[in-house]
Structure 1
Amino acid sequence: MTFGQQPQGGNQYSNPNMQGQPQYQYAQQNPYGQPQYGYAPNGTAAMNAQAAYSYEQVQQAQRVSVTRAYGEMTIGLLITAAVAVIAQMTGAYIGFLQATGLIGVFLFAAIQIGMAVYLGARIMKITSGTARVMFYVYAALMGFTLSSIFMIYDLGSIGLALGMTALFFFVLTMFGMTTKMNMLKAGPILMVALIVLIISQLILAIIPGVSGMTQIVCALGLIIFAGMTMYDAQQTRALFAAYEAQGPEMIKKISIVCALNLYLDFVNMFLYLLQLFGNRD
């Protein structure tokens, strides 16, 4: 099952450093590489030149923050892979399906979608620790569900799709981070395309057997999530730039929601590549 995502772009998050709001000064670097902040009221005539942010410090802080998001995404992927392998080796997923049938499948899907929506909507209200635990639990549930691919595809196909996904994801991320093209403007288009993709998959589930349509939908899905990967790469950088002045706790929260978006891009691209090029066992 493919899980989509809501772009968490400019509509949900706004830049808190607008005119008339308090400005922050750089105080010192804590042991974890995150900046600490001192308060300076708006309209201060002269800021201490050594205390204020320099361009290099701002760039370094953004790089550290982006690295944190991709690190959290990587941990989530490792949890998913580990749970999928364990569930396959122990037969846990097969036993779960035998006990619950389709009810269990829909229950797992509902829980995963609900967690993703809740995490995106409540990220500003919950603590960073709670957000991280929810993300890891989500990744574990995804791994339990994805253990089903071992019953459909051979290991060679799974490994090939995983390698291709990692390569594409890296290339698309680097392109999104370095290009001057503003992918954030493509957010509404990608969202509409994602809705059309989901509706198309539901129709194919109800009316199976349409020759060639599954491959076409998978190809379109791959293109859409390639665009989402570039979009989320730029959005990650933009969100950290907007919220970096609110301190380490906010940075941790933003890193989790960005990691979730990137994680979903990776998993969906992997599934589409597997369906396109995998050999069914």
Structure 2
Amino acid sequence: MQAVGGDPVPCANCIPLRQYPTYGSDIQPADEEGQRPKSLGFSNDSIRRGFVRKVYLILLAQLIATLGLLALLTCDDDVKLYVQESKVLFLLAWVGMLVTLGILTCNEGARRRTPTNFIFLMMFSIAQSFLVSVVACRYAPKEIFMSVVITAVVCLGLTVFALQTRFDFTMMGGMLVSFLLVLLVFGFVTMFVNSSVLSKVFVCLGALLFSFYLVFDTQMMMGGKHRYSISPEEYIFAALNLYMDMVNIFLDILQMIGGSDG
């Protein structure tokens, strides 16, 4: 667009928004005073607050659904036995979880299109909740309750830490992926070594790694002064990341608390 005098007039619609999977990593050049100029998206406080509010409301609904299904499938001994022995339900939940996770992760159109994104997220949450319940059925209700409480305290503390700390964890994405690959290899090795010590070490390292991931994903969602951030349009992906972090922390804590219910 040209002005009357011939000088170009900037157009806000021409500014490219940051998109996943680059996590909005387009870095603005510094201005003359050494500070990054404000840009469209997370620099707008109202957009950021609305995005964060939407993400946490979706996350709250996911956690309520998971806790409800967990309580329903683990409080009655007959139901627990049926869940443990039902291979068909387990396979359906496992396949459903992988398919919906792949769609939400790889298909940007499905992830951003309403109500398709909510439908796939609901299917993923139900399948994941069932798989969590299958694991929890091996433990006593007291151990499950303790794990839920400890997970809630840990996740709340990590969230507050992520919001208050001046250290930018969004620059640690490559390091966290490397640690995750090492942990997966270590877990594969423990499958062939019958050692309770190695198993305990594995779940402890897993809880620590996903705690870092929770801080990382929280700062990615908050944007602000952090170097990298998720686009405001990626509220489904942000909620999915936080939910998976919390679920993995819960499962690791549950295994650390120990005692199988037999």
Q: Tell me the TM-score normalized by structure 2.
A: 0.75
Contact (CA 8 Å) 1:15, 1:243: kept in 2 or not?
A: no
Structure 1 counterpart of 2:201, from 199, 207, 216: 216
Shift of 1:92: 6.1
Q: Does 1:173 align with 2:183?
A: no
Q: Distance in 1 between matches of 2:201 and 2:77?
A: 35
Q: Output the amino acid matched with 1:279.
A: G
Instruction: Write the letter of the residue equivalent to 2:22.
Output: Q
Q: How does 1:1-281 map to 2 (within 5 A)?
A: 11-14=21-24, 58-88=44-74, 89=76, 94-95=81-82, 98=85, 100=87, 105=90, 108-126=93-111, 127-205=113-191, 207-238=192-223, 243-244=231-232, 250=233, 254-281=234-261
The answer to whether the 8 Å contact 1:219/1:272 transfers is: yes
1:202: how far off?
Answer: 2.4
> For the structure 1 residues 110 and 201, does the alpha-carbon distance in structure 2 shift closer, same or farther, using more than 3 Å as the test?
farther
Q: Contact between 2:170 and 2:219, CA under 8 Å: does it hold in 1?
A: yes
How far did 1:162 drift? 0.7
RMSD, matched Cα: 3.3
Q: What TM-score does the superposition give when structure 1 sets the normalisation length?
A: 0.70
* Residues 79-131 of structure 1: CA deviation (Å, up to 9, x unaligned): 12222333444956754664537xx6455334312321220221345513111
For 1:156 and 1:199, locate their aligned partners in 2 and report how far apart those are by CA, in whole Å: 32
Change (3 A) 1:109 1:201: farther
Amino acid at match of 1:261: N
SS of residue paired to 1:152: coil
State the alpha-carbon separation in 2 of the partners of residues 158 and 99 from structure 1.
21
Query: Residues 190 and 211 from structure 1, CA distance in 2 versus in 1: closer, same or farther, beyond 3 angstroms?
Result: same
In structure 2, the CA distance between the partners of 1:192 and 1:105, relative to structure 1 (3 Å rule), is farther
Q: Secondary structure at the match of 2:115?
A: helix
Tell me, in whole angstroms, the C-alpha distance in 2 between the residues paired with 1:67 and 1:177.
14
- For 1:119, the aligned partner's letter is L
Runs of 5+ in structure 2 lacking a partner? Answer: 1-18, 30-38
Following TM superposition, by how much is the alpha carbon of 1:258 offset from its aligned partner in structure 2, in angstroms?
0.4
Percent identical among aligned pairs is: 20
* Alpha carbons 2:97, 2:124 under 8 Å: kept: yes
Report how far residue 194 of structure 1 moved.
1.1
Aligned pairs, how many? 229
Aligned-partner Cα distance in 2 for 1:61–1:237: 11
Structure 1 position 140, deviation (Å): 0.8
Contact 2:103 2:110 in 1 (8 A): no
Amino acid at match of 1:100: K
One-letter amino acid of the structure 1 residue matched with residue 127 of structure 2: L
Deviations 1:128-148 (A, max 9, x none): 311111111111111222222
Q: Whose strand fraction is larger, Structure 1's or Structure 2's? A: 1
Q: Which residue of 2 aligns with 1:47?
A: none
Residue aligned with 2:49, SS: helix
Question: What is the DSSP-based 3-state SS (H/G/I as helix, E as strand, rest coil) of the residue aligned with 2:223?
Answer: helix
Residue type of the alignment partner of 2:64 = L
* Cα distance, 1:242 vs structure 2: 6.3
- From the superposition, tell whether residues 61 and 189 of structure 1 become closer, same or farther in structure 2 (CA, over 3 Å): same
Secondary structure, counterpart of 1:223 in structure 2: helix
Report the equivalent of 2:11.
none
**1-structure distance, mates of 2:109, 2:26:** 13
